[in-house]
Amino acid sequence: MATITVFEAGYCTHAACMALRGAGMKVCRFPARAYLIDTAGGRFLWDTGYASHFIDHTRSGLFSWYRRVTPVYFDEREAVARQLRERGIRTRDLTAVILSHFHGDHIAGLRDFEGTPTWLSGAGWADTRLLKGIRALRKGFVPGLIPPDFESSMTAIEGFPRIELPAELAPFTHGYAAPGADGELLIVELPGHAAGHLGAFVATASGWVLLASDAAWSPSSYRELVGPSRLAHIIMDEPAQYYATLRMLNRLHRGGRVSICLTHEGAL
């Protein structure tokens, strides 16, 4: 069965109510997580968290607004590439880096994995790749985080076998089987939060886990169907789809057979 190792690579802060409506103005930490997924046939990194490249590319100019809106705290020792190295894992040991979406706190470490096969939503990338300036900033995308020649190492998940999911993953019915993962890593679309937003079901010894990325920022969101602040809708790709996805997570949670992990949960 697959194992999941959780890494934290920096965090940002913002008012609790931004992540969960009605949660008040208390300023909370939102850790940026990445996950190492080891399956029998492959080793995958899900997202990268923050990295020094984020600090470099948001130091001044237009993109410094990103950090003014959500102050970022990151120590170089937290870089995921470094944490992997300390465990004896080199970038070339990875089958692929998988990106849940293109917000800066999920892709900031990509330059540390230059040349590593990278899997992503082809539709989401098509919507994102040409964004520049204020249009990029509004979508939480920092173009400078993308390594040179990125597209030569990238594969769209839409080309992977689309399969029917096991009944216990209902209401989710279809997903993409990650090549080399022997059915232990199934990628699903979780639309709404950002263009091409993805999650993944991972088969572990203690049952299925859904890495749900930013489909919610707090477990209370899917447990009680409470969204984030209306202000947060500004950065959402499609608010109506976001709430449809949240209702899917709610049904999955009520089914009681799958653990749900959110990238930034913890503070709320």
Q: Is residue 139 part of the contact set for Zn ion (CB under 5 A)?
A: no
Beta strands in 132-212 (DSSP E): 154-156, 162-164, 174-177, 185-189, 198-204, 207-211
Q: Is residue 53 part of the contact set for Zn ion (CB under 5 A)?
A: no
Among 38, 47, 189, 214, binds Zn ion (CB under 5 A): 214
Q: Is residue 111 part of the contact set for Zn ion (CB under 5 A)?
A: no
State which residue, 78 or 214, has the beta carbon closest to Zn ion: 214
| Order of all β-strands in the sheet with 43-46 | 72-73, 3-15, 27-38, 43-46, 96-98, 118-120, 154-156
Among 57, 103, 111, 139, binds Zn ion (CB under 5 A): 103
The number of residues that bind Zn ion (CB under 5 A) is 2
Distance of closest approach, residue 184 Cβ to Zn ion, in angstroms: 25
Tokens matching residue 57: 């590319």
Distance of closest approach, residue 167 Cβ to Zn ion, in angstroms: 30
State which residue, 14 or 103, has the beta carbon closest to Zn ion: 103
State which residue, 53 or 103, has the beta carbon closest to Zn ion: 103
Positions that interact with Zn ion (CB under 5 A): 103, 214
